[in-house]
Amino acid sequence: MDIFTTFKISASALKAHRIRLNTISSNLANVETTSTPEGGPYKKKSVFFETKPVGFQDHLDSHLRNATQGVQVTKILEDTDPPQQIYNPAHPDANEDGYVELPNVNVLKEMVDLMSATRSYQANATTIKSAKRMALKALEIGG
């Protein structure tokens, strides 16, 4: 595996985790959103990853041998769980029985997911920095 493959793999992971971080941020920002343009409360979104070849040559190689692969976001799905119902007849979005439907976002789980995504992002950024340092050292040796 050459240095550029390392960069491609880590770059694909950085892109995927950036999307994951943005999605988690959206979930946290809308934790109390009771009304959306689609109607009803905000629905939690989840990001799904899948491996992918990191370039045309790698895609070709992957069919010929077991090649290295990167990662990509394949889909972002809305949670299908029913919203939480809280009794608050004074709320402007309360139904005729006085219940307000709140998003099914668990702040604690989102924060744990946010920390995990941040650590993954940092690990891939460190990988790129380390590969860059190794390449520079190799150039010093050759020079």
pTM passes above 0.95:
no
- 106-120 pLDDT, tens digit per residue, is 999 999 999 999 999
**How far apart (Å, rounded) are the C-alpha atoms in residues 118 and 88?**
36
Find the domain containing 13 and state its range. 3-142
Q: Strands, DSSP E only, in 35-95?
A: 45-53, 69-78, 84-87
How many domains does the structure of the chain reveal? 1
Residues of the chain with pLDDT under 70: 1, 53-68, 143
Taken in order 46, 113, 107, 18, the sign of the CA dihedral is negative
pLDDT of residue 12: 92
**How far apart (Å, rounded) are the C-alpha atoms in residues 101 and 32?**
9
